[in-house]
């Protein structure tokens, strides 16, 4: 069957059309996406702004037209922390449904972590043994650990790169030393609070990082470009990342956008994202992680394929 999945993330809204068959690798057919940056489209009371909700509804409606053109037999959609944590979630979902006919499924943070863990497990396989997952999006950080396809322990924290950038206003100017210390303390204290249940699962045989932020940081630290294909091994070393954090802090966003692997749209978030990943790697004693090209969207697709 040809399946269409609309992924409403905190930064990007992405339609992926795939050919799905039980027991087979999902084969991408077409991709259609836009940077809406919903995590930054919030009013002072925590609601998705009228403009943000309107742009989302319009894009999802456009996705239905693209899906019809591409011969999609089933169109699904899900939303993550930007919609989940908004004070007007139900209103936004209803506006999208009226405009497009699509009823977005709002994933819980735990479900988000479990689906991303499933994607990493399927990509790296059983031979990887016990996995530990680090996934950072625009709105939240997800962590998971386990031996099987279902993680034995997961955690979700409001430490997304876009969220922290917006809350601490890092995007507009270089942060002061005091700003950086406060951010570092907050990140590490929140991760430390979920440390014990995750390490009780056991020492991982492989640590995996997913999401665009980690892929960008990997490229910044010397990983192969995406043009070389998804099957080229890519890693991110903690020492390399730690060396980049003060350099990113000293750069304005427009200068970060000139670095390899960092787009203009994501440049403002890269400092906060790098600080979160570095903290997670240090607190869980990770020297190097393997970068996985699959993440939440693929986990959602795999779960649906399993049900066919």
32-41, 123-132, 279-288, range with the lowest pLDDT: 32-41
Enumerate domains of the chain plus CATH numbers: 2-106 (3.30.420.40), 122-297 (3.30.420.150)
Query: How confident is the model at residue 21, as a pLDDT?
Result: 80
Query: How confident is the model at residue 24, as a pLDDT?
Result: 78
Per-residue pLDDT at 146 exceeds 70:
yes
**Percent of the chain residues topping a pLDDT of 70:** 99
Query: How confident is the model at residue 86, as a pLDDT?
Result: 94
Query: How confident is the model at residue 168, as a pLDDT?
Result: 77
Cβ proximity of 300 and 240 under 8 Å: no
pLDDT category, 25, cuts 50, 70, 90? Answer: confident
> Which of 296, 272, 306, 301 lies closest to 109, judged by CA?
296
What's the pLDDT tens digit per position in 75-130? 999 999 999 999 999 999 999 999 999 999 999 999 999 999 999 999 999 999 99
pTM equals: 0.95
Q: Specify the higher pLDDT residue, 308 or 64.
A: 64
Cβ proximity of 132 and 286 under 8 Å: yes
């Amino acid at each position: 069957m040809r399946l269409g999945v609309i992924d409403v993330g905190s930064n990007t809204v992405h339609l992926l059309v795939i050919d799905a068959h039980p027991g087979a690798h999902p084969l991408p057919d077409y991709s259609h996406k836009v940077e809406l940056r919903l995590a930054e489209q919030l009013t002072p009371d925590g609601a998705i702004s009228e403009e943000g909700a309107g742009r989302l509804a319009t894009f999802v409606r456009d996705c239905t037209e693209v899906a019809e053109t591409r011969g999609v037999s089933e169109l699904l959609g899900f939303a993550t922390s930007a919609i989940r944590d908004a004070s007007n979630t139900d209103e936004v979902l209803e506006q999208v449904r009226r405009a497009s006919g699509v009823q977005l499924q709002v994933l819980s943070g735990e479900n988000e972590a479990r689906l991303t863990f499933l994607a990493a497990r399927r990509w790296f396989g059983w031979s990887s043994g016990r996995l530990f997952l680090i996934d950072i999006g625009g709105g939240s950080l997800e962590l998971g650990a386990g031996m099987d396809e279902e993680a034995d322990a997961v955690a979700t924290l409001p430490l997304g790169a876009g969220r922290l950038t917006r809350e601490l206003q890092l995007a507009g100017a270089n942060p002061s030393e005091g700003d950086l210390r406060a951010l570092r303390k907050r990140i590490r204290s929140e991760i430390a609070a979920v440390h014990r249940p995750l390490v009780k699962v056991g020492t991982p045989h492989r640590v995996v990082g997913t999401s665009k932020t980690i892929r960008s940081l990997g490229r910044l630290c010397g990983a192969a470009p995406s043009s070389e294909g998804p099957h080229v091994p890519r890693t991110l070393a903690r020492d390399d990342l730690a060396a980049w954090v003060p350099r990113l802090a000293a750069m304005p966003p427009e200068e970060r956008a000139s670095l390899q692997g960092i787009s203009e749209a994501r440049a403002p978030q890269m400092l906060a994202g790098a600080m979160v990943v570095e903290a997670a790697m240090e607190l869980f004693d990770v020297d190097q992680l393997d970068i996985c090209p699959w993440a939440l969207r693929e986990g959602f697709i795999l779960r649906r394929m399993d049900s066919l």
